[in-house]
Amino acid sequence: MCDTRFLIQSQPLNKEAQETAKKELRETPEQIQESVAKLKELLKGKPELFFREDEEILKIFLRPCKYYPESALALMERVADFKVKYANVIGKLMPDDEKKIMLEQNVVNVLVDRDQDGRRILLAHEGALWNTKEVSGDQLFRLFYLVHVLAMMEPETQVRGVVVILDFEGLSMKQVAQLTPSFSLRLLSFIQDAMPIRLKEVHIVKQPFIFNIVWKVFQPFVKEKLKARLHFHGSDQKSLHKFMNPEFLPENYGGKKPKINYTSKEWYPAIKSVESRIAEWNSWGWKK
């Protein structure tokens, strides 16, 4: 049975989130109706592009594009392109494919509590806890990809966005060897071009000197928009707290919440409960 704290939050927006959507995304009943209708019309001109066309699904693409239909269509096309280009990594990806890693390995977790702005918090440990004999760079990416599919299903996350904490404590050459230029290009291509989620901030924490090697690999692929959202804190937790209220952070990062591990074990039943929707997502894109 699923722990109710670890459920996908698919309920409609509350009043506060509605206000955020209106202020930041131009979302009003009239704008929704107009933009959905226009996007459906644009999709008629792209018969080779297949996505479900009900309002719930189209909002996934309209919200990060602030309800500009042409931008939403371009995002849908980039998502479809990414699926084709990296079909060998993410094609037909289902929760069972990475079950062992989710249950046993300490690499990726999502906090049950949102932050002070209602944003989802993703934690990834890419330092000593990442056992590269059990989890390859490709598998790490697959976990990120599954998490993003779940996040897309949450209306509040569509509006408020996501914050990522990347913990590099204990990083060694074993992990650095997995963070290859091809991994970096794929990850950044995904984040910057093919992820229909509002990525608000990325916090790099506890990074040792060897992290400079990793950053030199990633830096050429980082566009200005993402660069403005990247924050490097080292071991300075007060620096992190300038962006994230410690009331909503675990003890691991100087927060008031209980210490957490980095497995996806508690989330696995929730992920399984929506696997039919994950399979549906996998079927969308360019028609074959």
What is the structure's pLDDT at 1?
54
With respect to residue 286, please indicate whether it lies within any of the assigned structural domains: no
With respect to residue 188, please indicate whether it lies within any of the assigned structural domains: yes
What is the structure's pLDDT at 2?
58
With respect to residue 8, please indicate whether it lies within any of the assigned structural domains: no
Cα separation, 258 vs 183, in Å, equals 33
Q: C-alpha 263: how far from its chain's center?
A: 16
Counting as low any pLDDT under 50, the low residues of the chain are: none
**142 shares a domain with 60:** no
Q: Give the CATH number, domain containing residue 256.
A: 3.40.525.10
With respect to residue 287, please indicate whether it lies within any of the assigned structural domains: no
Give residue-wise pLDDT tens across range 109-132.
999 999 999 999 999 999 999 999
**137 shares a domain with 102:** yes
**200 shares a domain with 68:** no
Boundary of a domain, candidates 55, 88, 121: 88
**84 shares a domain with 100:** no
What is the structure's pLDDT at 236?
98
Which residues have CB under 8 Å from 159's CB, separation 6+? Answer: 13, 17, 20, 21, 24, 25, 27, 63, 198
Cα separation, 283 vs 102, in Å, equals 23
**236 shares a domain with 167:** yes
Query: Are 127 and 171 contacting, i.e. CB atoms less than 8 angstroms apart?
Result: yes
**65, β-bridge pairs:** none
Cα separation, 71 vs 28, in Å, equals 18
State residue 107 phi and psi, 5-degree precision.
-125, -45
**117 shares a domain with 75:** no
Give residue-wise pLDDT tens across range 198-227.
999 999 999 999 999 999 999 999 999 999
What residues make up the domain containing 25? 15-88
Boundary of a domain, candidates 88, 116, 137: 88
Boundary of a domain, candidates 65, 88, 111: 88
**225 shares a domain with 130:** yes
The string of DSSP codes covering 19-86 is HHHHHHH---HHHHHHHHHHHHHHHHT-TTEE---SHHHHHHHHTTTTT-HHHHHHHHHHHHHHHHHT
What is the structure's pLDDT at 6?
81
SS3 at position 83? helix
The string of DSSP codes covering 204-231 is EES--TTHHHHHHHHGGG--HHHHTTEE
What is the total count of domains within the chain? Answer: 2
Q: C-alpha 247: how far from its chain's center?
A: 22
**199 shares a domain with 72:** no
**48 shares a domain with 169:** no
**106 shares a domain with 245:** yes
**23 shares a domain with 141:** no
